[in-house]
Amino acid sequence: MKDSTTLELTEGQQLALDQLHRIVQASRGSVAATHVAATADGYVEARVSVGCANLPPTQDGLRLRSVEAVTLRIPPDFPFRAPSVRTRHTRFAGAPHVNWGRHLCLYRSTATEWDPADGMYGFITRLLDWFEAAAAGQLDRPGEPLHPPNALTDHTAGLLVIRHDAPVARPDGPWLGAAVLHQVNDIRCDVVGWLAVEDPWPDSLEQLRESAALPADARAFLAPVVVTTKHLTFEYPLTARELVESLARDHITPRLLLGLTGFVAGHNRTLLCPDADATVSTGDDEDTPAAPVHLLLGTPSRGIAGDGPRRTHLVAWHLPDFADQVGRLAADTAFSGHAYLAELGDEVVRFGTDWLDRQSTRWMRVYEVRPEVTVRRDHATPAAWLRGKRILVLGAGALGAPVADMCARAGAAHLTVADHGLVHPGILARQPYTDADIGFSKASVLADRLNRIDPHATHVEALVGNVTTRLSALDLHTFDLIWDCTANRIVRAHLERARRTDTAPWPHLATLMIGHHATRGIAAISLRGATGGGTDVLRRTALAAHADATRSFDDLIDDFFPTTPPTELFQPEPGCSDATFTGSAADVTALAGQLATGVLHALAEPADRHTMAVLIVRMPTGPTGPTSTQPSGPCWLTWPNDTLATDKATGYDVRISPAAMAEMRAEARRGARLRGQRVETGGSLLGAVNDAAGVIFIDEATGPPPDSLLTEAYFQHGLDGVSGHLAARRTATGNISRFLGMWHTHPHTAAQPSTTDRAAMTSLTLPLDDAPARALILIAGGPPPVWQQWLTTGDAPDLYTHLATRTVSAASEPLPPQPPAHLGPVRWWPGGYFTRPLRPVPVPRKGPRS
């Protein structure tokens, strides 16, 4: 290697050469560096040859010499910029990852793949990788995206965004036609459709817009397109002459190019200047093109290697306005079909060809969005579920606005954002609005912004107004998912009720909430067909949190389900402003993101049978900081559907938890075994009534207390231990689960109240001090097959429920220790663990209670 001290080197270049020198020294002739020279632009070029004699030739591989030489260009700011590599020869031209015939592309993205600290060592390793892959024919391993042929773009030539899958050439000839361009602004056009020459072309701008689903005011025009049958071997030439020559190999002559350009230019005039009368048009009109001339050139070179046909790779050549004129002239003469114009046509084509030859190729920047050649960055994430879906977001605040944004970016087809609030200065600290938005409706501002994310894929609508009153304006069944981000108890109750009273299954519902200091978040998920909505899922979350013996949800209870309301409310603005939580933009965005991803994950991969779930996330601050013993990370709880019944008195939903059903069944089975098939049994029910939602929650059921009376015709609930048990459960559940009523069975008979039952309902015989004014009567029964099925398999029995209101004041006298006399002498059993019946009851002395 030439002594590099005679060169003017930067520190980095010296480092590069030192490292290279060390590699040469250590590689026993397999890496050699020869000439080192500085270039005028501050680079240092080093010629390096690499032994490739160990690489056997393969059928698909590049044919390598036993030694391969390359020139490294080492930038002055090495190692903060990677060197580049080129060859003097063009033997590798046309291979993947070879640009301009000579430049080897070693890095897809130097930002991540180039390690400055590893410098030349990593670079030479990459070079060796490249040669090994080249020899093995694995520069593109199957499944890896192909390196697109590189076209050096000219930033002043404009920008093209390709949205629609491109046509491919037939084996027997090129594809000729036009691209439908939507001019978005002065520099950018989107390709939104393709028209082959043999297709019918739209006659008016309106038709064109309609065919491409463009809005009525969209600027649109056509651009000539040629898709070749063969790959252009020498990449994309810098001069028009070279380009025209390489196209000629695929039988695309300048005559054809001019004719097509002229035909499209003429059609653009028809579309864009329909009033111009050709016969009286002035010279000025003739000279001014109706639209810019972008010639699109497709080659069959893109897609997934080794897997089906290659897709069309597209570049676009921006032509001067004159192309419009000369093209139309060529179309009007050479392609007129009139023999007398043929000679003139030839002259025009000759002139046009000369003119083309003198042009430089100004390649436009091309951005690909074509589904056929692109993969969405979120394709393998839970957010992929959102693509093409219809989404309703209630609330456009700290949670709703980011969630709506996520839905729009994920490619939801339709998004409705509902909020009644206006943007005010305080929320700018954490909600994605701006100073200019102050005073405007949050929903409208948000919808405007989200509509700009991907107007081709996502349509966003604002629903301004009170969610509870405006919701009826929407057909909720058309949505796939509703996000309740209002953190509003009223909205939640309203949804719970609306959901209950609707006969058709509701969309998935996700209810999102943030804790008082934005350190925790909760997402309650009710899948389509779940028995409970947000209120229900949050209620059972609270129950589960209270029931957890390890107390790992204590922080959650304090934050979301406190038994006593927090006394310190955060009211950021003076006056009677809504209390809110403390939290930053970082906090709410983090929580929104985690909750949204969790919800979408649950939707994309629903857990078996479990239709309701809650996700709890905790921020890496506060209670889950490094010194905290609180659990961190996300936590899931899931539930299967409840057993449903409808209350006869109110029409309310009665939702019986699986635990309560199991307890009743266990007692019924024990009774059948001990007391005989027909002896009734029963006990207390714990739960709550939510009148707003119209739901009666049955959380627990207990068996008969020891002083109960169990007979074949009658069940009398005892009192022993009941008060204590209820109090204990009440405390244990943080007041959530309370005395709700009583259940008993009607083995082998209809689940209907008997005369005795009916009589008892009005007095609600349980003489507890704090007995509520209403109590639920639940009867489980059914004809023998149904009853037997319940006992053996657990399939729900027939259920009768009735929320009865006390019309008689609570009795102060104790319960009679015997069945009512009108039943006559019967065999009866006490509750509890008695295994034998007591004697038949004699006719009582006292009259029956009524």
Q: Which residues in this chain contact another protein in the complex, by CB under 8 A?
A: 2, 19, 22-32, 34-35, 37, 47, 49-58, 63, 65-67, 69-71, 87-91, 109, 111-113, 115, 117-118, 121-122, 124-125, 128, 131-132, 377
Per DSSP, 75 falls in state -
**For residues 583, 589, 592 and 596, what is the CA-based torsion angle, rounded to 10 degrees?**
-170
Beta carbons of 190 and 231 less than 8 angstroms apart? no
CB of 46 to another protein, least distance (A): 11
Q: Which is nearer to another protein, 105 or 341 (CB)?
A: 105
Go through the chain and tell me how many residues it has. Answer: 850
Rounded Cα–Cα distance for residues 411 and 396 (Å): 19
3-state percent helix, strand, coil for the chain, nearest multiple of 5: 30, 25, 45
Beta carbons of 107 and 113 less than 8 angstroms apart? yes
Rounded Cα–Cα distance for residues 737 and 734 (Å): 8
Q: Which is nearer to another protein, 23 or 588 (CB)?
A: 23
CB of 38 to another protein, least distance (A): 12
Strands 188-196 and 219-227: unpaired
CB of 699 to another protein, least distance (A): 48
Q: Which is nearer to another protein, 26 or 504 (CB)?
A: 26
Q: Which is nearer to another protein, 111 or 380 (CB)?
A: 111
Structure tokens at 271: 């579309």
Q: Which is nearer to another protein, 132 or 245 (CB)?
A: 132
CB of 792 to another protein, least distance (A): 58
C-alpha triplet 394, 432, 450: angle, nearest 5°: 65
CB of 132 to another protein, least distance (A): 6
Rounded Cα–Cα distance for residues 536 and 419 (Å): 23
Residue type, 120: M
684, β-bridge pairs: 742
Q: Which is nearer to another protein, 134 or 701 (CB)?
A: 134
Alpha helical stretches, state H, 561-632: 585-604
CB of 60 to another protein, least distance (A): 13
CB of 66 to another protein, least distance (A): 4
For 553-578, b/e burial (b = at least 16 CB within 10 A) is bebbbbbbbeeeeeeeeeeeeeeeee
Rounded Cα–Cα distance for residues 60 and 141 (Å): 11
Q: Which is nearer to another protein, 3 or 813 (CB)?
A: 3
Q: Which is nearer to another protein, 46 or 693 (CB)?
A: 46
DSSP states of 210-268: HHTT--TT-EEEEEEEEE-SS--TT-S-SBHHHHHHHHHTTT--HHHHHHHHHHHHHHH
Q: Which is nearer to another protein, 27 or 204 (CB)?
A: 27
CB of 162 to another protein, least distance (A): 19
CB of 119 to another protein, least distance (A): 9
Of 294, 343, 336, residue with least CA distance to 314: 294
Q: Which is nearer to another protein, 113 or 795 (CB)?
A: 113
CB of 384 to another protein, least distance (A): 18
Which residues touch 691 (CB under 8 Å, ≥6 apart)? Answer: none
Q: Which is nearer to another protein, 53 or 604 (CB)?
A: 53
CB of 57 to another protein, least distance (A): 7
Rounded Cα–Cα distance for residues 213 and 189 (Å): 15
CB of 135 to another protein, least distance (A): 9
Q: Which is nearer to another protein, 381 or 451 (CB)?
A: 381
Rounded Cα–Cα distance for residues 487 and 80 (Å): 49
Instruction: Give kind and range of the element (H or E) at residue 545.
Output: helix 534-547
C-alpha triplet 340, 346, 347: angle, nearest 5°: 100
